[in-house]
Structure 1
Amino acid sequence: MKEMGIVVLVSNTSWYLYNFRRGTIVALRGAGYRVVALAPLDKYSRYLVEELGIAHEPLPMEGKGTRLLGEGRSLLALFSLLRRLKPTLVFNFTVKANIYSGLACRALGIPYANNVSGLGTAFLHDSWLYRRVRSLYGVANRGARRVFFQNREDHALFLSHGLLRDTPTTVLPGSGMDTTRFTFSPLPDSVPFTFVMIARLLGDKGVREFVQAAGEVRVAHPNSRFLLIGPHGASNCTAISEAEVQRWQSAGVVEVLGEQGDVRPFIEKSHVLVLPSYREGMPRTVLEAAAMGRPAIVSDVPGCRQAVVAGRTGWLCEVKCADSLALCMKTCIAMPQEELQAAGKAARARIEEEFDERIVVEAALDCLHGGRSLDGEVTSDLR
């Protein structure tokens, strides 16, 4: 097949591209494009090359870095790599990639698209630095061929902050779900009742609220289990210290299992997924659990509340409130098995109807080919 050109994907981790953009990568290769990933080296970098058959170029970028020297190094590296590769289009993912790669592409005259998969720390906290970050985000977005969002509330926020102007936008159902990989499974018949949280160990993900709520629930239901899965030492200013994680492990309330290459076995052995995050784009772990027939308890914030239909495929708790989360957990434990199973089946059906990966892949290809068929369209009822 004749090579159609080069498409570059930029992210602050290779992990993100491998786990969340696999379907898009496969589709781009199938359409005849050479795909190059620009991301920091991690253990998933080799999977991009060996399993997905794309090129990988190491990118010096630290998620929580704010020192001018390091940030300037990231921007210059992107500028140099993109000038050498001369791609047909660049897809940027995660906040720093959207800003830095967007600015580099704009300076070089390379077409690009930004993907807002969540607002990140720059929107959850306010300071002189974060206000400057948001300003640069607007400059990067206004030069993009398209900006993709994962919920309407993020889209509305960017509009209200003047971070888009007349840039074409599309709201998509997250990064899409591969329903053949995440297949439905019935709820476990055996006790104990098991909750699972899958997230990077960050304060902004609500990890502390999960641990505190688990302690409250264990008082009334001492046999219940609480699994905490996610990488330590995440590059983020709200990352939870190793010492704090060790204290949780010593207390024995939650089972801290660290990062897992395949989360499906842990979802399968659980009854309910929990994500008390402070804000999300469209939380992938909630969608993965739903695809496997697991309802979720999530915080009532943008992104999370769009990931469930409250009372039908999951439940909402107050943000930053461990007591509210614990009450939801206790309600789930007391719920008849048939009612919980019905919520899981409804969650799976919604994934099939609204979150199929093909929607996201087709939008990427449409953008690549210069189409405007998705202008202003919201592809599902993501409120």
Structure 2
Amino acid sequence: MQKLVRITTIPLSLEKLLEGQLTYMNDHYEVIAVSAEEERLKKYGEENHVRTFWIEMTRAITPLKDLKSLYKLYRFCKKEKPLIVHSHTPKAGIIGMLASKLAGVPLRLHTVAGLPLLETLGNKRKILDFVEKLTYSLATKVYPNSFVLKDIIKELGYADDDKLEVLGQGSSNGIDTNYFNPENYTDEYRSNLRRDIGIPEYDFVYIFVGRLVSEKGINELVTAFVELESKNPDVSLLLVGPFEQELDPIDPEVFKLINSHLKIYTTGYQQDVRPYFSISNVLTFPSYREGFPNVVMQANAMSLPAIVSNINGCNEIIKNGVNGLIIPVKDKNALVKEMSNVLNNVTLREKLTQNARRLIQSKYERKQFWEILLKEYKELEELHKHD
């Protein structure tokens, strides 16, 4: 059986962004997952029945460490001789594509799930631009996970159109709507969970799921909520995810508000976010940049409409006024307005809620995405045989 190497910078991306996918592919290829964090990666391999190979990688710019990682992966590829190396995330992308190119791997694939560099300026931006362009030049094919992201990549001059392809309707993994199903949770369960967290039983709950960092729009979300709650006391804000104050800190005043405001609740990182969606009414996701955000698909699959920024990915999953509402980026006032709108306009809210799950099921079902990706692998394999 041919070998397929899948690389992400950290195992969390394997667990969340590619959940179930490597296990599915293991029926068709000998899959090897490559990532950092040795113990967590090993656990991932055991749980998903795939081989693993540990390489130290960081999400920061660390040239000396990166050279060591590059050499280690090069040696690994020379020894294993995989047919395909498929990378995700920026650091894994450059190391994966360069090592596999040097090792003579025939099919080098890279998925782009967003461009963190879009929020970067100055010399750091120039370095990141160079690395991104180099990554794409080393790849056989590049898969932006949204149509708007593909256009951005072309506009930035990172790659030509013939190298770029969006698989299916977008996404990196689709979504399992049997798993993300609101009917899995009883009224009693939801009532008990609200009580355990401290959320009043009849409050209208806005939920955010993701890293609690500046670029996810947390500053705008918290200040918008505080303003809204001062006029509508029967609302709560539920923040599900970890702080990353060392990487992308939120404003100190906002951090204080999160910890002191009586109607803002935090859970920290959660392996399973479905229970929290089940006790909420709407996803508020005012992020500055995304690829194709899983959390928006997950919320919709759980029959939650979403208020999202007008950025790629978000504005492809959400149709304004159909399954959610779209606001300008970094616009707190627009966020307050639409949070109020979805709270007070019952007719609108019911329409958005009814459409949310149905739209996800029709466009982004996970098994369908896996089949599309497998077909892509097999077609590239056939082309390689005839080269």
TM-score interval, smaller chain: 0.7 to 0.9
**1:179 correspondence with 2:177:** yes
Q: Which residue of 322, 346, 355 maps to 2:355? A: 346
CA gap of 1:46–1:61, structure 2 versus 1, over 3 A, is same
Q: Which runs of 5+ in 1 are unaligned?
A: 374-383
Residue 86 (structure 1) shift: 2.1
**1:201 correspondence with 2:196:** no
Q: What is the distance in 2 between the residues matched to 1:28 and 1:354? A: 21
CA gap of 1:73–1:209, structure 2 versus 1, over 3 A, is farther
Contact 2:175-2:364 at 8 Å conserved across structures: yes
CA gap of 1:166–1:113, structure 2 versus 1, over 3 A, is same
Q: Which runs of 5+ in 2 are unaligned?
A: 192-200, 383-387
Q: Which residue of 81, 84, 89 maps to 2:79? A: 84
CA gap of 1:195–1:166, structure 2 versus 1, over 3 A, is closer
Residue 361 (structure 1) shift: 1.2
User: Which residue of structure 1 lines up, in the alignment, with residue 237 of structure 2?
Assistant: 226
**1:27 correspondence with 2:37:** no
Residue 246 (structure 1) shift: 5.5
**TM-score calculated relative to the size of structure 1:** 0.88
Residue 26 (structure 1) shift: 2.2
Q: Which residue of 141, 164, 180 maps to 1:146? A: 141
User: Which residue of structure 1 lines up, in the alignment, with residue 14 of structure 2?
Assistant: 17
- Count, aligned residues: 365
The residue type paired with residue 51 of structure 2 is A
The residue type paired with residue 19 of structure 1 is K
Q: Which deviates further from its counterpart, 340-349 or 309-318?
A: 340-349
The residue type paired with residue 113 of structure 2 is S
The residue type paired with residue 86 of structure 2 is F
Residue 247 (structure 1) shift: 5.2
CA gap of 1:261–1:334, structure 2 versus 1, over 3 A, is same
User: Which residue of structure 2 lines up, in the alignment, with residue 255 of structure 1?
Assistant: 265
**1:313 correspondence with 2:323:** yes
Q: What is the distance in 2 between the residues matched to 1:372 and 1:77? A: 26
Higher helix share: 2
Q: Which residue of 41, 48, 53 maps to 2:44? A: 48
Residue 44 (structure 1) shift: 4.7
**1:358 correspondence with 2:354:** no
CA RMSD for the aligned pairs?
Answer: 2.5
**1:273 correspondence with 2:271:** no
Describe the superposition over 1:280-322 as per-residue Cα deviations: whole angstroms up to 9, x where unpaired: 1111101001011110000112222112010010001221122
**1:163 correspondence with 2:158:** yes
**TM-score calculated relative to the size of structure 2:** 0.87
Contact 1:211-1:253 at 8 Å conserved across structures: no
Residue 47 (structure 1) shift: 4.3
Residue 114 (structure 1) shift: 0.5
Describe the superposition over 1:71-96 as per-residue Cα deviations: whole angstroms up to 9, x where unpaired: 33333333233333322211111112
The residue type paired with residue 74 of structure 1 is S
Q: What is the distance in 2 between the residues matched to 1:78 and 1:244? A: 42
Residue 167 (structure 1) shift: 4.6
The residue type paired with residue 48 of structure 1 is Y
Describe the superposition over 1:133-168 as per-residue Cα deviations: whole angstroms up to 9, x where unpaired: 222222221232321112222111211222113653
Map 1:39-118 → 2, pairs under 5 A: 39-41=35-37, 44-63=40-59, 65-110=60-105, 111-118=107-114
Q: What is the distance in 1 between the residues matched to 2:66 and 2:305? A: 40
